[in-house]
Structures are given as C-alpha cells and as structure tokens.
Structure 1
Amino acid sequence: MPGSRTLPSVPPAWRRPLAAAVALPLLALAAPAAHAEPDGPAQVWLIEFAEGADASVLDAARGLDFEVRHDFERIWNGVSVEADPATARRLGQLGMVERVWSDVVFGGPATRSDAVTESDAAAESGPVPELAQAIQTTRADVAHDRGITGEGVKVGVIDTGIDYTHPDLGGCFGDGCRVAFGTDFVGDDFDSDDPERSDPAPDDDPADCAGHGTHVAGIVGADGEVTGVAPDVEFGAYRVFGCEGSTSAEVIMQALEAALDDGMDVVNLSLGQSFQWPGYPTAKAADRLTEEGAVVVASMGNDGESGIYSGSAPGVGEDVIAVASTDNPAERMDAAFVAALDRPVGYKTLSDSPEPEGKTDGLVWLGRACKDDPSEGDVNGKAALIVRGTCTFKEKYERAVEEGATAVVIYNDRPGPFGGSGIEDLGVPALSVTDADGKDLHDLAAIGEAPVLEFTGDTVLVDLPRGGLASSFSAYGPAPDLAFKPDVAAPGGGIWSTVPVADGSYESLSGTSMSSPHVAGAAALLLDAEPRLDPRDVRTRLANSAKPVPWGDNPGLGELEAAHRQGTGVIDVVDALDAEACLYPTGVNTGDGTGPRTFELTLTSRDHHVRDYTMTHQATIATTGDDRDPGFSAAAPEVDFSPKELRLYPGQSATIEVTVTPSADLPEGSVFGGRITARPEGGGESLTAAYSGYQGDYLAIPVLEHPDFPKLAAVVAQDPETREYEYRDVEEGETFSLADGPALAALVYLGHQPAAMAVSAANADTGEVVEWDQEAFLPRSPGPDDAMGVHLEDLVAQRPGALEPGRWTLTVKVLKALGDEDDPEDWEQWTSPEFSLSE
C-alpha cells in the first residue's frame, strides 16, 4: 500500500512506553497490545503512592471497578491493580497517589550469539576454557585457591528458572540441595505480551524450560564440568519467564520480594528494559532490596550498537550494580573438519536451521546471494558458500536453496564469529563461520577444490577479535538523568556455561546477561570472606579494584574505553578481597555545562598501618555527537586534586576535592569521563572511582526533531505474531471514526528520553481542549526510524466520550530530560494538522 509502513505502537492507554528492540538476553520493551475497545479493556497498572502513604489510599475509590493484585509494600511503595484505562486514570487522581505506571513488558531472554551444543568429546576434556578464562580474567580462581568459594552465601537468580537436575548445579531442588529456594511465578505457557497467555499460572517448581537462567546460574556457581565464580553458593531460583515469550514488571517485582523473604544475600537480574530511567518501578524496587541488605546485580543491557543512554532498568537503579560486558579471548564452537585445510573450522548453526550431519557436499562459491546479485557458481547439488552482508540471512538462504544447494555456509564480512536468526527451515542446514575461515574456504573454492565440511562432534576454540575489550553489544550510559552508569564490567562475550540437560548441558552465549552473574558470583566471594559487608561496601570494593578496559576502536593508541561504558573497569576479585582502603562514591555524575565541575571523594583506611596516597587521573574516551551513532574524541579534561597527596592513619577518612575542566577541544554535546585513582606508596591495592559529565547544555538535546515524525497516520492492520501495527499516510479530506474506522494515530519519534510526555486534543470548531494525564520517564526511540504510535482510540479509552464528532487537532508535548515542568522553555511540542471525526 503506498505510503504504508510497520511501526511499533503504544499499547492500550498510550501511557505505556514505546516498543523497542532489546536484548538483554534479556530484554525488550513493551510490545504493542491489541486495540482497545472504546470503553478500554482491563489491564495491569502499577500504582505508586506518595511518601508516607499506603494501600489504604485506595479506600477512597471503592466505587470504582478495579482489583488489587499485589501490594509491594516491602520493596516498593505501591500496588499492582487490574483496571480499564479510564479507571486507572481516576485512581491516579486520588490524593497521595504519586503516579500510575503501565506494567510494561520485559522481552524474553535473547543473547548476542547463538548457542552451540556440547559434544561428548568436549565433555571428556575437563573444565572447558571459556568460563575458566573468564574467572582467570577476574582472578576468581585465585580466591578459590584461598578457600573462598561462596560457601554459606545465598544467591537469587531471577530469570527463566534453573535446571536443578544439572549435575553441575547440584542435581536436586529443596532442602539440602544447592538450588534450595525458589518458585515459578508464571508457568510454562506464560507470555505477558500475548493476551491469550498473559495470565500467570504459578507453581512451586522453578524448573527451567528456556535455558537462559541455567546458563546464568552456571556462571554464578557451577561446580562440575564447568566451574563458576562462586562454586559453593546456595541458589534461589525465581522463574519469571515461561518457556518462551516475555514477562512483566509486576512479576519481576514479585520475584524481588520473594528473594527478600527467602533471605538472599545476592540477587542477579540478567534482564532489563532498555533506554530506561532510574525512577522506573523495577529499578526503585531493586534499590529498596539493597536497603534491606541484599546486593543486587543487573545487566547494563545489550544495546551498545544503539548508542549512548541505552542502559536498562533495573540496572540503572541508583544502588544496583550495573554490569557491562567484555569479550572473552576465545569462544567454544562446534567444529567441522576440512581435509583440504587439514584443520577444523568452528561453526554455528543459524536459528531454525536443521543441525548438520555427516558431511557437506563440496562447497561452491555463490557470492553475496542477495536478490539482484548474479550467481557466481552453480550450487545445484553442492554446498553454497556465501559472504555475509547487505541483505538478510533469510534472503541468502532461500536464494541458495532455490538454486539447489544442499547446505549453506555464510562467512563473516567482519572479524570473528557470528550467530543469526530469521530464516525459515527449508530442510537444508545453514551455518556461519568466521571471516578468516570463510576466506580460506573461498580460496579453495576459487581454484575448484570444492572443500567439504565433515561434522565430527568435536568442538574448537575460536579467537574473538575483541578479546579483553568492551563487547560490541555492551550498552552505554549514562542514565537519562546523567547518573553514572554502568558501575563495573566483567567477561560476557563467548561464555561457555550450563544449560538444561535436555538441551545438551553446555552452551556458549554472549550478553550482559553473562557478565552480570559473574559479578554476582564475585559479590558472593566477598561475602564469604567478610559476611558483614553491606551492599554499598560490596559495590565499592568491586568498583575500586577494577582494572581499565582499553578503547576497542583503536586499542593501539592507548586510550581507555569510555567511563560511561566500562564503569571503573573489569572487576579483580583478589584486589577487592585485599583492599586496605575504600574510595567513595565509585561513580560520579558531574552534570552538564561547559566550565569546571567540582565534586568530593572520601578515602577511608581499613589498614593497620599508616599509608601515603597520591591521587592520579586517567582520561577515558569521550563520545560525541548523535545519541545513536556517536563519534569519539580523545580530548582529555584537566583534573586538579585538593589535596593531591595525603596520609591516612588506620581507620581515618579524608576528603579529596576534585575539579574537572573539560577540554576546549571537546565538542558540545559530548559525554566525557575518566578514572580517578588513589595510589598507595610502598605497595598495596590502588583504589579507583570514575566520573562522567556532559559538555554543553543537556536541555538543548532535541526530542521531537526528525525529518519524518511526528505525523498523523491511518492504522491499517496489526501483525498477529509481532503485534506491530502497519500504518499508511492520511488521505486529503479523510474522515476517521472511532466506531467504524479507519483508526487514527500520531506517529511520534523520541530522539532523546523525555522526562514527561503529555497529549491533548483541541476542537477546532469550539475551542474545547481535552487533556490526558502525563506519562513520566519515557524511553527514547531505539533506532533511527523507530517511531511510536499514539492511537486515538487508546486515548479515548481513558476518557470515554471525550471526543465529539468534528474537526480536531492533537498536540504532543515532551518535557526534556532534567527539565523544569513549570518552565515552558523546557518543553517541546508538536500540533497536528486538523482531522475530522465522525460518529
């Protein structure tokens, strides 16, 4: 249809944040729900009370039709209710109700590389290197040699459950087992984004049928074929996902509450909602859990390729340890022997492709294999060799199968291995190999060698080009309120760990879902050594002792990765255990502006001896320009300390005043940062804190500036599987009807996270204005064209009968991040052209 396209839409009552691609192995944002009926379907809302109030506030609403589902009094000052949008709006108008939140969707666990299946040969080879490499990187293995293994520490895993039958995880569930606590909040069929499967069916069995939670648990504390960071911890398994699909904020918060009730010392959340604010309920609930004494660790997110301000809730919570990811030096992959090369090559099977067996026919070079590309070889009855790029895996795969290929091998057009999905199984295996292996196979095919891949069941370690560097997927901070995030980093790229026994027992996965449990395990080691540490102490010890990550785009120049991407760096368990002082706070937001900024750090001795310290500074790379596609600058700020040198006596604290002056060469609109280190004289552990700041006026970042949006559009249809809407351009003189259609929407693109968004409609004939309640703390649009749909009928569901037939305009207003709600200069606004409504 001319002028039509498919875009996400805001679910019933537009106040839900826009749909967005997320990945946290974990995450994704609210996906669109079905159209609302005029009176609005019942849905779940989170009602936040003002300080000092409680659920008794709702006694004043006894005449309204709603059901209280859960009171989160212990971890969040609010309740979840089921109500239609109009009722939810009226609840929000009650005295002492702070805000009404939509219960947004957290997408099902997804990772940044496809899993590979463990073979018998690998199982017989002893501890596999990837997790061993990771715990060597952070020196958790040295802690094990000291007898510090996490014994007596309870770690809660809020995820897809745990396969407690796995021998590396204890083999049983309940008293006397390693997985001793836990529950299933949702049931196998649950998917919060599917109306037919959105009702939880909880039970007492947290068995994992998706695999993600078992992989996470193995990183925390496997003890067997693989060894986790803390191999003697006790687990709590809190299942918040079904076998597939998404979960909700309400369910995650119930799991946080259960972890508190069960006395978990550490809680890991390898999930999140990208582009989110620290004020979202899951982040606030996680913060509350730390106040109750539990260390909460969460993934920073996997949207690093979407630019800065891409972190996830609950990771962006003020007291949560948000974890970035670095790549392991190598990743274990299935191996195929190539006689013509006299060596194996590593491969991955693309999702939804059949697993290869035996051996392939001879490989013939087909080319790039996009729709309009010429065929560069006859692959009929042969295996097709294709290079990645330009078009989808699905298009390449279907092209090769149409030409008679019996197998498809796609090699990378950039360094390293890759996984992929999106193909539809046509009975022909589709494999991916690295660029180096692919080029070797191409050279053989070019001389008519037709190499054959033989599948032996072995595995091989494949070098990762970003080994020791920030993973390409690892999300950037800071948070939208400029709060410093992430806190620390850990290995998360190419991690071999446990998966359910039925799925092969071990897989290699990548994501901040894998780095977060590494830090959770490290926290458990600290608590094993010093049980009286509180959550702030644990974060401080881990952050102070972290080691810097080189900047991956040009590691030879010596620059360091952005502080707002690595935190203070990769954790070092031994230095955290041995720290003789602490430097606090560990992450500082210096705000915006163009001049110097001053803040204070406190250095506190834990030593038995007098020690002298010298304060030093290392600049980190700055990000410049566009949020989504930033540039980089090595222009270093000038940093002054008062005092620069100091002496601490045992138990003494001292305050250091730090003044940061951004470089005059740094473009406005940049986010800069650095590492501040207290270096002890005469040996001992150095202590590091980090900072970030914005160069320029943060309020100057545009929100509604896009060449194609905002605009009005007609709703065409909704995809029943993806639940995304298709829209078309509005025709001149077209009339819209809430009862009979066509339906109308405003397509809005959010270039940066707004602190609030308000929608109103004005009657062009009478001057009447209809206003809807503001939504606070919205995510930004994730991609360059990812607009959100504000559906007129969803608005009317909040205010039934508010819009009469006639000529109307819609106005969308957004409050800029950190803006003053009472200052008109801090708002941006768009008003639509007139449109006509009929009965």
Structure 2
Amino acid sequence: MLALPLLVSSAPTVQANSDDGPPQVWLVEFAPGADASALESAGRELDYSIRHDFERIWNGVSVEADPATARRLERLDLVDQVWSDVVFTGPGRVADGLHAPLESDPEAAEPELAQAIETTRADDAHARGITGDGVKVGIIDTGIDYTHPDLGGCFGPGCRVTVGADFVGDDFDSDDPDHAEPVPDDDPADCVGHGTHVAGIVGANGKVTGAAPEVTFGAYKVFGCEGSTSAEVVMRAMEAALDDGMDVVNLSLGQPFQWPGYPTAEAADRLTAEGVTVVASMGNDGEAGVYSGAAPGVGEDVIAVASTDNSAQRMSAAYVAALDRTIGYRILAATPEPEAGTATDPLVWLGRACADDVSEGDVNGKAALVVRGTCTFKEKYERAVAEGATTVVIYNDRSGPFGGGGVEDLGVPMVTVTDTDGEDLRDLAAIGKAPVLEFTDRTVLVDLPRAGLASAFTAYGPAPDLSFKPDLAAPGGGIWSTVPVAEGSYAALSGTSMSSPHVAGAAALLIEQEPQLKPRDVRTRLANSAKPVPWSENSTLGELEAAHRQGTGVINVIDALDAQTYLYPTGVNTGDGTGPRTFELTLTSRDRVARTYELTHRSTIATTGDEREPGFHAAEPKVTFEPKTLDLYPGQSATVRVTVEPNAELPTGSVFGGRITARPEAGGESLTAAYSGYQGDYLAIPVLDHPEYPRLAAVVDQDAETEESDYRDVEDGEAFSLAEGPDLAALIYLGHQVSAMDVSMENADTGTVVAWEREQYLPRSPGPDDAIGLHLEDLVAERPGALEPGRWSLTVRVLKALGDESNPDHWEQWESPVFNLVE
C-alpha cells in the first residue's frame, strides 16, 4: 500500500515530507497576470523560499515550504494552484541487467536498429540525403556518454553533443532523503545508460545508425546514477533546452495516470508555443489499463508516442547441446553474470517455486528450472537458492523474452529464457536428459511474438479529460542502440522510452527538409502519414489496435516528407454519451495540382469493462461525412463534418475509436486522423467503490526516511491522542482520476467543521490495492488548535473527472465512523 499525506495536487506515488526528509518542494502556478515579484510581495509574511522562476516555460515558481505554508500560498488571490513536485521513477541502470545483455561484437548488432529505422522508413530518407544535418535535438534524460564514437566522441563546440548540463549530480535521488537536493555541474555524462540509448536511436552514426544520424545534441541530465528525479528538475532542463535553441526535445520519461494540466505537461506545451517540437513517451503502464498515459506526454501539444515491438531482439547466447541449438538469455537484475565459457550444472525442474509450493525436484547442487508467475522473482530466487541451486533459470509463462529485478544478490546467477526454450528444457529434464546451458560470448536474435504489434507495456489513453492520446507510434520493443562505453557500448532496451526517440529523429528529418515547419505541422505530417497496426491480442481477426493505444499508427517518414496536404486535427476527442457525435476536420492543400479526396472510415477495437483489466469489442460504428468527397485546389482549405454514431451493441463504459482517411482519387498520399470516444456517461464511472476502501485506520509504523506507513483497523470506541498518537488516517482508493477532492472533519457534538484545502486533478490509484493515506497529523499541523477533544468524523468528497462542482450528482462522498480525540 502507498502512503500519502493530503498534499496539494499530489499523486499517489508521492510520499510525505518531513523535517528529516527531502526538501519540501512545491510548484506554485500563478493566476494570469501574476508573477514571482507579486508573490514575494503578497506572501512576505509566510515562511517559504523561491527556488526557481519558470517564467519562460510555465507561469509559476518552485518553492521550498512546509505543507501548511504551501496551503496558505494557495489561498492567495494571485495563485491559481499549488502542485506537489511529483517523483519521476528512474529507468534503472543498464549495468544492473534490467535490460538485455550487452553485445561483444557491435557490428553484429546493427540489424536491430536497422530493422526499426526500416519500419519507419527513416533509412529511405537517408538514401535521399536527409539525415538531420543542422537540426538540434535535446535529450532530457540520464545524460549522454559523449565519448561514444557513434555519438561523436566528445563534448562541446564542434562535437555532436554540443551543449548540455548535469542538473542533479551523480548521487541525486529525489526519493532518498540523504541525496534529494540537486548538486548540478556542467558535465552531462551518463552513468545509467538510458539517455545514451535514447540518443543513439535519435542519431547514432557509426556501428549503429539512428533515425537522424547527423543531428547535433543537447544533453540534459536529470537523473543521478540511481533512483528518481522530480518535476522541478525536468522543467529546469526544458527551460535550458529552450535557451540553448533546441529544435526538437525528447522526453523519454513520464509520471503515469496524470492530467494534461500537470506542470510538466503545461511546460512542454509552452515549449511548442516557442517553436520547439516536443516528443514524449506515452508511458509503460499499458498493463494497468485505460487512462494510464503519462505527463508530459498527455500535454495538448506534445507528440505522445506509443510503442510497437521490433521484429526480433538480440540477446546473450547459451548453447544447449541436448537441444543442439543456441538459445537467448537475460540476466535478472542484481544477480551475478555468468562468465563466457562456463556452464550450468544439469537442470532440474523445481516448479513454480513460490514459498508455499511443493518442490517438484531435488535441485541441491544442480541448476533449478523454474516457471514465471504467481509470486515474485525474489521469492522464486530465494526458494531455489535455499534448496541448494547453483543457478536459477526461469522461463516465461507467456510468449517471448522478459527481464526484471527486485532480487537481492545471493551469489547465484539467475537468468531468464523464453517460454518455448523453457518448455523444451523442461521436457528434456522430465525424461532424464538433464540439459546444461553453456554460456558464450556471442549473441542470438530472438523473435518477438508481438513483432509489429503494440507492445504489451505501451500505455492506453485517453487522458483523464478524454483528450485524444497517444498521437502516434514507433518501434520501442527490443531496440538495439548505444549505451555507455564502460557498459559495453551497445544493448537492447524496450519501452516507450525507445519509441519516442524514433519520432524525435523523424521530426529532425522533416525540419531539415523544411526548416519553417512549426511543431503543429511536424505532428500533423507524421500523424497523417502513419500506418495502422493490427489488434495485438489477436492479429488474425482483421481488427485494428485501439486508436487510444496506437494513435494514428506507426510513423512513415517518407510519406511524411512527401505529404502535400494536411488533415487537422490529427486526434479528436468525441466526448461521452450514447448518441451520435459530430466533429470537423480540415484539409489544407500545399499541392501544385488540384485533387479530389474521398473520405473513408475504419473502426479500431474498443476497450470495455474494468479500466484496469479491459475487455475488447469490435462493434462497428456508423460514420457519415458531409461532404463525402471534395475537390481541393492548391492553397485551399476545406472542412468536412464527421458524424460518428456508436454501435448499440457497444457496452456502456467502452472507449471506442477509429481512423478517418482522406484518399486522393488520382494518386498521392492518403491522409489519416483518428478519434476516440466514451460510450455512456463518463461521470458515472465510480471512484470510491473499492471493496476495502475508504476506511479509517491507525498508523502502526512509519518509515523515518520514506514516510511510508503500515496500518491497522480502528477498534470501536478507540481514542486517539492529539499529542501522543497513534496517528489516524483515512485510506482512500481512487478508482478513476478525479477533478477535485475535499476532506473535512466534523465534531459530532458541536457541529464544528474543520477542512483541508481542496485537492485538484488527482491521478487514479495505480494498482488494485494502492490507497492514499490521509493523515490526521497533517490536518493538525495545518490547523493548529482547530481540533478539540471530542467525538469527530471525517468526510471525503471527490468530484468526478470533468464534473461540475455545482452539481451534487457529480460528487461521491464517504463519511467515516465517529472516533474519539483526546488531549
């Protein structure tokens, strides 16, 4: 369970601040016309300090203050809102084995990145001489290993990595109280690997070739060598990228389940208004279901990128004589790496290897073969080692390769293999052949089961305000690219972190060809020309992947470069309801000849039911156009009215969508826009309906560093001391994002009401059991003396996403049982 105090506009991943914890940082957003000097004047009686003024990219400042002061700042007329400085989880180090193993022969690795740029047709642009020359791309990430020969080998004027900075220092971790204060310097060297990999996809030029191999880079390091970063740091890097004149900025990071109004998303939108094309990951929370997109990707003007899997992924190779073939393997994070030339002991089938499972074989002095699933990798690893295993081999319980972490090194290697290889090994063990893995210094290409389809991890839209996201897609699963030289120079990683830089590189190619293109034009050209992908759950049925998961599809650089007409907007939110919805699309010709366009429609798969574990439905909507065909002359614009009537068979609560294509009758490139919509009353989505929450609980234990808490149930008639505790908390589970949350307490004897300040734009609880802890001690700190001894109850009210606060039907409410407060 996550513990969260009632913070101003905070997210479920944020932990409480304390005197001994990280700096208490808030993002203060001003009302129109206000600025930092006005705040200093109006708030001079308050105890806070301004850390940074984001005047150029966001109308606000970051401040350091305690939560009570942050609330008092929000009451000032010149302040529109105070946001918590949320945590952006770190990507994990390549060297820790969180991604694919490293390649000893980089020349053999080239096909994987080449496959990806062939998919996007960036390689065809290179054949035309369009390589990104003269375009500046900012990489806001873990830094770049600029010593890598494929990235230029140096840093500074005349190098490919021309500018940049480290905004945090190697030891920074926003989640660690001892290292949460940035220690910036001028050297953006990468000690993680993620940023170097991203930069290589954008523009490597050497053993591997990126999407735009002649761009120059700005390197903006926002992560230390371990751990997380903060919104404040990411926004400072955005500001620097603007100051340094970047043409394109790539943000392969994000905070999931967020609203488009969160400061990082708004700052990214401001960058686009300043002429910078901003590309960001949609997020890797696809398995968390619908509405899982991340900020800044959900920003209105940001190009949010979904991921499709590459056709194959390179992995370290082990030879199995009993199979007479080489198989691919990955090292599970934190366990020892097997040395080339060594071999495992004979493999013995142990089973699922959860703590309470019966052992299905004697693995003492042998290598344990285990299947993935039911319990954690840590539990399986510890169980196998406790039974004497000398190596642990875990195979997938679903298709394809996989990786992971969360284990503590016990001195025994743990490697992962695919489902098919694992089942073959198990069959051999079952007939007494006791297979052995012989580790080599070579690699092998392993087919990915979702090749060309949406990656299992890629997040679903739409955004919580139903705005259309993601915008488009690119290869992100199994991408081979550069990593720091000290870590082997090349590796395969997966994520929307890898799909986003393909689009950033594609944007650079467009800008090289037409430097006058505005960010909106870049997104329009790329989205209009994107090609759809089949539904990943069953690609043989002829259905297309949900529009709110793939956008308009996978980018096609050549078609984007050749496009002579725009279809705008590229993604449309049709809202909610049960009847027809109408919207307008505009075609604008840059062509030299007149063309006749015919409008056509194709639906995409709809998601249904539980937003965390959605089902799917293929009900075809009825779509009409007014006009159905139109003549477009050079320089002319024309508007088409599109009416979408959802199929009556579509279940209430579904998110549906489709593709609108303008096809030229006499040749030329087709242009596509996409739409999504909600079937039913969006305000009817329940929020406070978890079977175990809301509930009142007492705090049993609280971690001094992270402020995460353990809880117990409250006994009938139990008394809570305002001075001595135990602390009391309301545990709230948000089933869906909410526009606002009000929390108050009422004295059952006197009728006195004491309230916290209103929360706004809260993400939903990420997992099925993640609840927010609203702690009584925070109210006491904010309203000293307001709570007197007596009988009290606590009330939580939430305003549904897009709800009207003046309409009582748009609120849900929970009231706690009465409890006793004593001195």
TM-aligned CA deviation for residue 247 of structure 1: 1.0
Corresponding residue for 1:68? 50
Aligned residue among 750, 774, 782 for 2:766: 782
Compared with structure 1, are the counterparts of its residues 442 and 613 closer, same or farther at alpha carbon in structure 2 (3 Å cutoff)?
same
Deviation readout 1:681-719 (Å, 9 max, x if unpaired): 122111000000111111111111111110110111234
Inter-partner Cα distance in structure 1 for 2:280 and 2:90: 16
Counterpart residue number, 2:37: 56
Structure 2 counterpart of 1:644, which letter? K
1:708 aligns with 2:701: no
Counterpart residue number, 1:241: 223
Per-residue Cα deviation, 1:568-617 (whole angstroms, up to 9, x for no partner): 00000000000011100000000111110111000011111111111000
> Please, what is the CA RMSD of the aligned residues?
1.6
Post-superposition shift, 1:723? 5.0
- CA distance in structure 2 between the partners assigned to 1:251 and 1:624 by the alignment: 38
Distance 1:42 1:111, change over 3 A: closer
- SS at structure 2 position matched to 1:471: coil
Structure 2 gap segments, 5+ residues each: none
State the Cα distance separating 1:42 from its structure 2 match: 6.5
**Runs of 5+ consecutive residues of structure 1 not aligned to the other structure:** 1-6, 20-28
Is the Cα–Cα contact under 8 Å of residues 612 and 647 in structure 1 kept in the other structure?
yes
| Counterpart pick for 1:819 among 785, 803, 816 | 803
Q: Which residue of 1 aligns with 2:86?
A: 104
CA distance in 1, matches of 2:19, 2:698: 16
1:758-797 equivalences in 2 (<5 Å): 758-797=742-781
Structure 1 residue 476 corresponds to structure 2 residue 466 = no
**Which AA in structure 2 matches 1:55?**
A
After superposition, give the CA deviation of every residue in 1:53-107 in whole Å (9 maximum; x if it has no partner). 2223211221221111111111111111111222222211112211111111111
1:124-174 Cα shifts (integer Å, max 9, x gaps): 43x522111110100000001111111100000111111111111111111
Quote the offset at 1:18 in angstroms. Answer: 3.8
729-738 vs 150-159, which moves further: 729-738
Match of 1:491 in 2: 475
Runs of 4+ in 1 over 6 A off after TM superposition: none
Q: Aligned with 2:185: secondary structure?
A: coil
SS of the residue corresponding to residue 178 of structure 2 reads helix
Cα-to-partner distance string for 1:531-574 (whole Å, 9 max, x where unaligned): 11000000000000000010011111100000000000000000
After superposition, give the CA deviation of every residue in 1:650-708 in whole Å (9 maximum; x if it has no partner).
Answer: 11111001000000111111111000000111221110000001111111111111111
Query: Partner amino acid for 2:26?
Result: W
Are the aligned partners of 1:35 and 1:794 in contact in 2 as well (CA < 8 Å)?
no
- CA offsets per residue over residues 795-832 of structure 1, 9 Å max, x none? 32222222222221111111101111122221111111
SS at match of 1:196: coil
Classify the secondary structure of the residue corresponding to 2:458: coil
Shift in Å at residue 420 of structure 1? 1.8
Alignment match of 2:343 (pick from 350, 354, 359):
359
The aligned residue for residue 379 of structure 2 is 395
CA distance in 1, matches of 2:323, 2:140: 45
**2-side partners of 1:42 and 1:405: how far apart?**
45
What SS does the corresponding residue of 2:195 show, helix, strand or coil?
helix
Distance 2:366 2:652 in 1: 56
**Amino acid corresponding to residue 309 of structure 1 in structure 2:** Y
1:624 and 1:667 in contact (8 A); partners too: yes
Cα drift, residue 189 of structure 1: 1.1
Matched-pair contact (CA < 8 Å) for 2:93–2:226: no
Could you list the per-position Cα deviations for residues 292-318 of structure 1 after superposition, in whole angstroms to 9, with x for gaps in the alignment? 000001110111111101101100000
- Counterpart of 1:43 (choices 4, 12, 24) is 24
- Does structure 2 retain, via aligned residues, the 8 Å contact 1:168–1:218? yes
SS of the residue corresponding to residue 422 of structure 1 reads coil
> What is aligned with 1:679?
663
Contact 2:142 2:220 (C-alpha < 8 Å) held by counterparts: yes
TM, length-normalised to structure 2: 0.97
Match of 1:24 in 2: none
Q: Check conservation: 2:22, 2:174, Cα contact below 8 A.
A: no
Contact 1:16 1:104 in 2 (8 A): no
Shift of 1:729: 0.7
Correspondence 1:161 to 2:161: no
Aligned residue in 1 for 2:389 = 405
Q: Is the 8 A contact 1:41 1:85 kept in 2?
A: no
Aligned residue in 2 for 1:14: 7
- AA aligned to 2:87 is V
Give the whole-Å Cα distance in 2 for the aligned partners of 1:650 and 1:70. 48
3-state SS of 1:766 partner: coil
Q: Which amino acid aligns with 1:158?
A: I
Contact 2:52-2:63 at 8 Å conserved across structures? yes
In the TM superposition, 1:339-738 aligns within 5 A as 339-357=321-339, 358-719=342-703, 724-738=708-722
Distance 1:426 1:118 in 2: 22
Q: Which moved more, 1:698-707 or 1:737-746?
A: 737-746
State the AA in 1 paired with 2:573: N
- Report the alpha carbon displacement of residue 35 of structure 1 after superposing the two structures with TM: 5.2
Q: For residues 16 and 719 of structure 1, what CA distance do their matches in structure 2 show?
A: 23
* Partner Cα distance (1:96, 1:393) in 2: 51
> Does the 8 Å CA contact 1:36/1:794 hold for their aligned counterparts?
no
After alignment, is 794-803 or 73-82 more displaced? 794-803
What is the distance in 2 between the residues matched to 1:824 and 1:462? 56
Q: Tell me which amino acid in the other structure corresponds to 1:348.
A: R
Residue 106 of structure 2 corresponds to 123
3-state DSSP of counterpart to 2:473: strand
Match for residue 90 of structure 1 among 72, 76, 80: 72
How far apart, CA to CA, are the structure 2 residues paired with 1:35 and 1:824?
36
SS of residue in 2 equivalent to 1:238: strand
Match for 2:4: what amino acid?
Answer: V
For 1:124 and 1:210, the matched residues in 2 are separated by: 23
Q: Is the 8 A contact 1:117 1:504 kept in 2?
A: no
8 Å Cα contact 1:169-1:222 kept in structure 2 = yes
Return the alpha-carbon distance in structure 1 between the equivalents of residues 379 and 61 of structure 2.
48
Residue aligning to 1:3: none
CA distance in 2, matches of 1:664, 1:111: 49
Does the C-alpha gap of structure 1 residues 722 and 510 become closer, same or farther in structure 2, counting only changes over 3 Å?
A: farther
**TM-score of the superposition, structure 1-length normalised?**
0.96
Q: Number of matched residues?
A: 818
Question: What SS does the aligned partner of 1:691 have?
Answer: strand
Alignment correspondent of 1:135: 117
Shift of 1:775: 1.1
Greater Cα shift, 323-332 or 417-426:
417-426
Asked if the contact 1:111/1:509 (under 8 Å) is kept, the reply is: no
Aligned-pair identity in percent equals 76
* 1:111 CA displacement: 9.5
| Displacement of 1:431 | 0.7
Equivalent-residue separation in structure 2 for 1:567 and 1:42 (angstroms)? 39
Deviations 1:330-365 (A, max 9, x none): 111000011121211000010111011211111122
Alpha carbons of structure 1 residues 461 and 742: separation in structure 2 relative to 1, 3 Å: same
- CA distance in 2 between counterparts of 1:615 and 1:110 reads 46
Alignment of 1:193 onto 2:175: yes
**Residue 251 (1) aligns with residue 233 (2):** yes
Query: 2: distance between equivalents of 1:486 and 1:281?
Result: 19
Q: Conserved in 1, the CA contact under 8 Å of 2:16 and 2:706?
A: no
The match for 1:313 among 273, 284, 295 is 295
CA distance in 2, matches of 1:437, 1:769: 64
Give the secondary structure class of the aligned counterpart of 1:423: coil
Residue matched to 1:282: 264
Per-residue CA deviations over 1:444-495 (Å, capped at 9, x if unaligned) read: 2122111111111100010111111100111000000000000000001111
